[in-house]
């Protein structure tokens, strides 16, 4: 069965532990009256009451979302340039509005509305909004926005790769701006106006929550439009966009360098078990954990799995496969000067689960899943092996600057100057899964450390006990990071991967109480209500340490403690933070 990519890339983690729409009544309602609302750059295309409790997410077949309160659904098209075509939706509770506005993000190249985020916000009482980022008009979906076509590859077809070559946003610089920063900002501005017109008063507070591309949107808002939101939740942020996509190319080339470099089915699980055998529990976690609490303490070398005697893959690794995994951990490297372009993958994120969008997924595709971004620069030739620059021969010394010169200023949310955001009282809460196989976990640490560096001594330059780190303390007055042991990209994984990060953000903004811990839950088979374990998520740089007695499945038996200073692989300054 074809998997809908909307649910695979960047779903926000557990904000709270053509559609089934009621027919328009004959008389106008406060909702239907919004159809005539006039806003800059905006055409409201529908405003409809939904009192059925159900919404059918467009698709084949449509997917029902149930348990919804009565709401006003507004759809609109934003046209800030002659080539823009940004779709947004605003869902407005018709009763029980909590007085807050919630902007939500999506994943990958988006290209469609993420209805699950709208529904989560609506159920919690928010006036919620979401956008396709303006890429839907170019035929994009979360995984593909430029492609040489699925080439008959069953997995590519299953995950929505179009059959024929496409170039995504090539030749559309205004749509690239929309994707990079403009769509979310205008969604926010106009979404607030729509809510104001509906309720007759402005929202008391505004929040944004997103993961992956939604995390990039979150940081871009804090950097470029600091007054849009009072509180911002940024998960696994794809903020270093151009270099992150280069890492995808690098990983695909790594496993396709020769037939022997390919990692076979089941071998990622084999490697993960070897990692756990060597490193589990050494980082403060329990010896029974199936994940690492802080994988930076792990020095696993895949050479220990090298085939010897009569051993054969997949029960062991060939020398070529050892090379593949060493490069996997080492990061994206300029082959000429050795500079790090993007950090490597952390030990403990190895998985054969294709839905995790890691190496096991990427290597089985005819071309890298997220290489659409490079079609925006090089055009259709990027998909042809005979061309000078394509997905199979991309030059990580010469071609990097070509991409950055065209895209970095628009797509990369790498500024660490959040003084304006902090100045108006804004709060930033970041999180990232330690077992993320798609976006290197330490990318978020690198961004947070750079914020600390702006305040004085960086996290790596001073300890946290015996006087502490004043720069860290100043940063934590407005920005905090929580690393999630054993969580994949935005969700899933063997660790405690379900948690409410939005409520602590609301409390921080509205009561001035900064979060020290967040309770995370691992459900049996990742399906509520049966609980497998709970664990505290600790404000970085603290880690959860087992107290030594009691069940390791109960959060109360762990304490957040000061961690030793660990090494973070950082990009070269020109590619950072």
Query: Could you list the active site residues?
Result: 212, 436, 489
Spatial separation of the C-alpha atoms in residues 528 and 535, rounded to whole Å: 16
Query: For residues 574 and 342, is the Cβ–Cβ distance under 8 A?
Result: no
Spatial separation of the C-alpha atoms in residues 393 and 504, rounded to whole Å: 46
User: Read out DSSP for 485-524?
Assistant: TT--SSS-SSS--EE--HHHHHHHHHH----SEEEEEEEG
Query: For residues 29 and 376, is the Cβ–Cβ distance under 8 A?
Result: no
The residues near 158 (Cβ < 8 Å, ≥ 6 apart) are 1, 2, 3
In three-state secondary structure terms, 374 is helix
Measured CA distances, 167 to 147, 380, 440 (Å): 6, 6, 27
HSE toward the beta carbon, residue 353, CA cutoff 13 A: 18
Structure tokens at 90: 């605003």
- Which residues sit opposite 317 in a β-bridge? 306
Measured CA distances, 187 to 30, 129, 190, 458 (Å): 21, 7, 5, 35
Q: Note the residue count of the chain.
A: 577
Spatial separation of the C-alpha atoms in residues 554 and 521, rounded to whole Å: 10
Spatial separation of the C-alpha atoms in residues 226 and 411, rounded to whole Å: 17
Spatial separation of the C-alpha atoms in residues 215 and 239, rounded to whole Å: 7
User: Read out DSSP for 93-141?
Assistant: ESS---SEEEEE---TT--S--HHHHHHHHHTT-EEEEE-TT-GGGT--
- Which residues sit opposite 431 in a β-bridge? 235, 482
80: left (phi over 0), alpha (psi -120 to 50) or beta: alpha
Q: Which of 167, 68, 574 is nearest to 341 (CA)?
A: 574
Query: For residues 239 and 448, is the Cβ–Cβ distance under 8 A?
Result: no
Query: For residues 446 and 568, is the Cβ–Cβ distance under 8 A?
Result: yes
Match 């950072």 to its residue by tokens: 576
DSSP state at residue 81 = S
Spatial separation of the C-alpha atoms in residues 456 and 478, rounded to whole Å: 15
Spatial separation of the C-alpha atoms in residues 431 and 240, rounded to whole Å: 16
């Amino acid at each position: 069965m074809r998997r809908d990519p909307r649910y695979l890339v960047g779903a926000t983690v557990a904000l709270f532990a053509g559609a089934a729409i009621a027919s328009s009544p004959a008389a106008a309602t406060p909702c239907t009256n919004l159809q005539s609302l006039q806003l800059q750059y905006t055409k409201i295309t529908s405003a409809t009451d939904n009192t059925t409790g159900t919404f059918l997410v467009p698709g084949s077949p449509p997917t029902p979302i149930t348990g919804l309160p009565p709401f006003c659904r507004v759809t609109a098209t934003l046209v800030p340039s002659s080539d823009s075509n940004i779709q947004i939706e605003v869902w407005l509770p018709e009763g029980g509005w909590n007085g807050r506005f919630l902007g939500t993000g999506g994943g990958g190249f988006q290209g469609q509305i993420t209805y699950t985020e709208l529904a989560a916000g609506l159920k919690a009482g928010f006036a919620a909004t979401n956008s396709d980022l303006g890429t839907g008009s170019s035929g994009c979906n979360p995984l593909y926005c430029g492609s040489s076509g699925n080439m008959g590859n069953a997995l590519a077809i299953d995950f929505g790769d179009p059959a024929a070559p496409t170039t995504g946003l090539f030749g559309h610089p205004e749509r690239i701006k929309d994707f990079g920063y403009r769509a979310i900002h205008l969604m926010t501005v106009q979404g607030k106006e729509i809510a104001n017109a509906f309720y007759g008063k402005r929202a008391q507070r505004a929040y944004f929550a997103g993961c992956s591309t939604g995390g990039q949107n979150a940081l871009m808002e804090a950097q470029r439009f600091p007054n849009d939101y009072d509180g911002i939740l940024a998960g696994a942020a794809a903020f270093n966009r151009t270099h992150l996509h280069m890492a995808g190319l690098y990983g695909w080339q790594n496993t396709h360098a020769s037939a022997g470099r390919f990692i076979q089915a089941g071998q990622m699980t084999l490697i993960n078990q070897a990692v756990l055998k060597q490193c589990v529990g050494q980082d403060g976690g329990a010896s029974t954990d199936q994940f690492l609490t802080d994988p930076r303490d792990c020095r696993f070398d895949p050479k220990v799995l090298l085939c010897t005697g009569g051993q054969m893959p997949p029960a062991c690794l060939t020398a070529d496969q050892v090379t593949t995994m060493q490069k996997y951990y080492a990061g994206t490297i300029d082959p000429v000067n050795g500079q790090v372009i993007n950090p490597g993958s952390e030990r403990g994120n190895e998985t054969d689960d294709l839905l995790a969008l890691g190496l096991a997924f990427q290597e089985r595709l005819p071309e890298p899943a997220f290489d659409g971004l490079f079609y925006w620069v090089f055009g259709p030739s990027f998909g042809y092996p005979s061309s000078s620059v394509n997905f199979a021969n991309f030059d990580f010394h010469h071609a990097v600057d070509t991409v950055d010169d065209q895209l970095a200023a628009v797509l990369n949310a790498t500024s660490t100057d959040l003084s304006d955001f902090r100045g108006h009282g804004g709060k930033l809460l970041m999180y990232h899964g330690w077992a993320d196989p798609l976006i290197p976990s330490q990318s978020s640490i690198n961004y947070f450390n750079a914020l600390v560096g702006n305040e004085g001594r960086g996290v790596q330059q001073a300890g946290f006990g015996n006087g502490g780190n004043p720069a860290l303390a100043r940063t934590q007055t407005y920005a905090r990071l929580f690393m999630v042991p054993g969580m994949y990209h935005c969700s899933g994984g063997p660790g405690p991967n379900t948690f409410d990060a939005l409520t602590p953000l609301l409390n921080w903004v509205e009561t001035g109480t900064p979060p020290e811990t967040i309770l995370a839950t691992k459900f049996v088979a990742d399906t509520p209500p049966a609980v497998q374990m709970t664990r505290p998520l600790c404000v970085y740089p603290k880690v959860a340490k087992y107290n030594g007695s009691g069940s390791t499945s109960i959060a109360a038996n762990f304490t957040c403690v000061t961690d030793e200073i660990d090494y973070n692989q950082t990009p070269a300054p020109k590619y950072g933070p």
